[in-house]
């Protein structure tokens, strides 16, 4: 009997963001989900059937068969959607109506990572590993910007254990959203996280969670 | 320090991201003071500003009617404004599922359009040397993103809920400045004119870069947005700011 949630994905930082959270939801509440692996080296995600789901032709894409096959693309939007509908005890987020300021801070840090860390670290990956031509300026531009962004996170984590939430913060989708990217820092030309000790601790704390460890192995 | 206005908008109104927020504030009839920040002088990295926004970028909005609640990331600001101050859904949607579609499009704008168009502008306009493969990479991505929008807008008039929302507004200032001033010719004024912020200029001489012809539905959608009086007003302010800048640089 297929699970209600279906995720089209592959093993990239963006894919991992969602599979990690789905594993957290499974561990917390027994939420089940199916995965269909998309081969991006064959450009499956640009085929017409996939474009119908996501006109941007990118993974991951979520289809919620529990809710009339509602489709969500953009990883951060998927995380927010899953948190709203499947995190019934609000462990991984904040209530928009009852806790609007924390909810807004969650959104701010999610947008910061989604619009900053993802694309900039992604460009650094491209120019370090995938570009046909070696352009030292571009490699430096994007690895420096990625480091700057890590520095911003370091500031936030000075007296916090997690990005958002009262006091020292609570583990939420805001953390998952960006740690899934930081794990790949070496490809972006950033050899070690030692320069950002609070960030390094935070990454270790999150990635030692069983659900996190399982989530980054999916799809198998 | 209070002038009694409900909000303070840090970062001026002329950069592409601050402009979005100014448009939405005015469309919702909200009152705000503006604090200009000189990006060229690096004021956004001053310690005082970094206390408000550790990322050191513009805009940042402070809501004095909510205990001076501070918010940065332009699309997070738009969501904050419509959640709290748009109960009549003038620029937002009421349906729970449609709200997620709205969030989805804002994330696509924040990660797929803004940063890539920004890199295009950097390599075409600001970087001291011409790096053809970098320029080409970002040109191609602009065309791809316009293609995505064209696919969607060929079937529906607005991005979400069958109506204008902040999702549409979030795309404006990076999309199609040339569409607003069609009388500007290709190849003229490579230096410092205001529309060099946007892809209209950025696609000069690029194959497939005639937006009106290649992406007619995007063009129509954009025209509707920029013909709104409030949007028009801010684009004119932006144009004037760039004109002054170009004059001072020409000296």
A55 touching chain B per CB within 8 A: yes
CB contact under 8 A, B148 and A57: yes
Which pair of tokens denotes residue B218? 């995007």
Which pair of tokens denotes residue A32? 């089940």
Residues A57 and A129 in one domain: no
Domain total in chain A: 2
**A150/A117 Cα distance (integer angstroms):** 8
Residues A143 and A65 in one domain: no
Q: What is the largest CA-CA distance in chain B?
A: 54
Contact criterion met (CB below 8 Å) for A44 and A50: yes
Q: Is the per-residue pLDDT at B173 higher than 70?
A: no
Residue A123 is nearest to which of B119, B127, B131, comparing CB atoms?
B119
Q: Is the per-residue pLDDT at A185 higher than 90?
A: yes
Query: Is residue B232 within a helix (H) or strand (E), and if so which, with residue range?
Result: helix B229-250
B79 touching chain A per CB within 8 A: yes
The domain ranges of chain B are 7-85, 96-249
CB contact under 8 A, B115 and A115: yes
Residue B213: its pLDDT value, please? 86
What CATH number is given for B96-249 in this structure? 1.20.1050.10
pLDDT in tens, A142-181: 999 999 999 999 999 999 999 999 999 999 999 999 999 9
Residue B43 CB burial class (10 angstroms; 0-12, 13-18, ≥19): middle
Of the candidate ranges A55-69, B112-126, B134-148, the one whose mean pLDDT is the lowest: B112-126
Residue B175: its pLDDT value, please? 52
Name the residue in chain A with its Cα closest to that of B103: A77
- What sign results for the dihedral spanned by CA atoms B35, B41, B44, B48? negative
Domain range enclosing A47: 5-91+212-216
Residue B178: its pLDDT value, please? 40
Residues A108 and A129 in one domain: yes
**A63/A66 Cα distance (integer angstroms):** 9
**B68/A119 Cα distance (integer angstroms):** 31
Residue B194: its pLDDT value, please? 32
Q: Assign residue A21 the CATH number of its domain.
A: 3.40.30.10
Would strands A5-9 and A33-37 be described as parallel, antiparallel, or unpaired?
A: parallel
Residues A178 and A137 in one domain: yes
Note every long-range contact of A121-127, with CB atoms under 8 Å and residues 24 or more positions apart, other chains counting. Answer: A121/A146, A121/A149, A121/A181, A121/A184, A121/A185, A121/A188, A123/B119, A124/A187, A124/A188, A124/A189, A124/A190, A125/A184, A125/A187, A125/A188, A126/B137
Residues A122 and A67 in one domain: no
Residues A68 and A39 in one domain: yes
Residues A85 and A40 in one domain: yes
Using alpha carbons, select from A93, A90, A76, A99 the residue that is nearest to residue A164. Answer: A93
Residue B148 is nearest to which of A55, A77, A132, comparing CB atoms?
A55
Scanning the structure block, which residue is given the tokens 């209600």?
A4
Residue A118 is nearest to which of B56, B76, B111, comparing CB atoms?
B111
Contact criterion met (CB below 8 Å) for B221 and B175: no
Euclidean distance between the first and the last CA atom of chain B, given in angstroms as a whole number? 37
Residues A85 and A120 in one domain: no
Residue B188: its pLDDT value, please? 38
pLDDT in tens, B80-97: 999 999 999 999 999 999
Residue B186: its pLDDT value, please? 40
Residues A9 and A106 in one domain: no
**B174/B138 Cα distance (integer angstroms):** 14
**B90/B14 Cα distance (integer angstroms):** 24
Q: Assign residue A164 the CATH number of its domain.
A: 1.20.1050.10
What CATH number is given for B7-85 in this structure? 3.40.30.10
Residues A23 and A79 in one domain: yes
Transcribe B9-54 into DSSP letters.
Answer: EET-S-SHHHHHHHHHHHHTT--EEEE---TTTTGGGSHHHHHH-T
**A158/B17 Cα distance (integer angstroms):** 28
pTM for the model stands at: 0.87
Percentage with pLDDT > 90 across chain B: 59
């Amino acid at each position: 009997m297929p699970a209600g949630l279906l995720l089209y994905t592959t093993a990239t930082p963006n894919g991992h963001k969602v599979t990690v959270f789905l594993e957290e939801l499974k561990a917390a509440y027994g939420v089940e989900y199916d995965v269909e692996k998309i081969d991006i080296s064959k450009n499956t995600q640009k085929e017409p059937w996939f474009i119908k789901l996501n006109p941007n032709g990118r993974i991951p894409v979520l289809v919620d068969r529990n809710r009339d096959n509602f489709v969500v693309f953009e990883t951060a939007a998927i995380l927010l959607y899953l948190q709203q509908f499947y995190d019934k005890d609000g462990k991984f987020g904040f209530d928009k109506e009852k806790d609007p300021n924390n909810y807004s801070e969650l959104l701010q840090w999610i947008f910061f990572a989604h619009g900053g860390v993802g694309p900039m670290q992604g460009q650094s990956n491209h120019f370090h590993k995938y570009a046909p031509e070696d352009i030292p300026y571009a490699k430096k531009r994007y690895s420096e910007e990625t480091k700057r962004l890590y520095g911003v996170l370091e500031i936030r984590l000075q007296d916090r254990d997690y990005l958002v939430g009262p006091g020292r913060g609570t583990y939420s989708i805001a953390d998952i959203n960006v740690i899934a990217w930081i794990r790949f820092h070496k490809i972006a030309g950033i050899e070690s996280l030692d320069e950002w000790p609070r960030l390094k601790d935070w990454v270790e704390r999150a990635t030692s969670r069983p659900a996190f460890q399982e989530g980054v192995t999916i799809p198998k | 320090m209070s002038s009694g206005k409900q909000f303070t908008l840090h970062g001026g109104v002329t950069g592409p991201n601050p402009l979005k927020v100014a448009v939405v504030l005015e469309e919702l009839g909200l009152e705000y003071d503006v604090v200009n920040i000189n990006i060229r002088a690096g004021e956004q990295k001053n310690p005082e500003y970094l206390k408000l926004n550790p990322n050191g970028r513009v805009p940042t909005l402070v809501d004095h009617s909510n205990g001076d609640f501070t918010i940065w990331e332009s699309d997070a600001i738009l969501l904050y404004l419509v959640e709290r101050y748009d109960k009549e859904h003038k620029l937002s949607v009421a349906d729970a599922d449609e709200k997620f579609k709205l969030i989805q499009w804002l994330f696509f704008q924040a990660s797929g359009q803004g940063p890539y168009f920004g890199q295009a502008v950097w390599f075409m306009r600001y970087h001291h040397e011409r790096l053809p493969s970098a320029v080409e990479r970002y040109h191609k991505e602009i065309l791809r993103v316009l293609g995505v929008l064209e696919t969607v807008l060929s079937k529906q008039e607005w991005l979400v809920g069958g109506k204008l929302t902040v999702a549409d507004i979030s795309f404006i200032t990076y999309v199609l400045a040339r569409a607003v001033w069609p009388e500007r010719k290709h190849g003229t004024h490579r230096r410092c004119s205001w529309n060099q912020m946007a892809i209209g200029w950025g696609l000069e001489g690029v194959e497939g870069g005639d937006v009106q012809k290649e992406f007619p539905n995007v063009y129509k959608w954009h025209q509707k947005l920029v013909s709104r009086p409030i949007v028009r007003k801010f684009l004119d302010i932006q144009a004037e700011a760039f004109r002054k800048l170009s004059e001072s640089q020409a000296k």
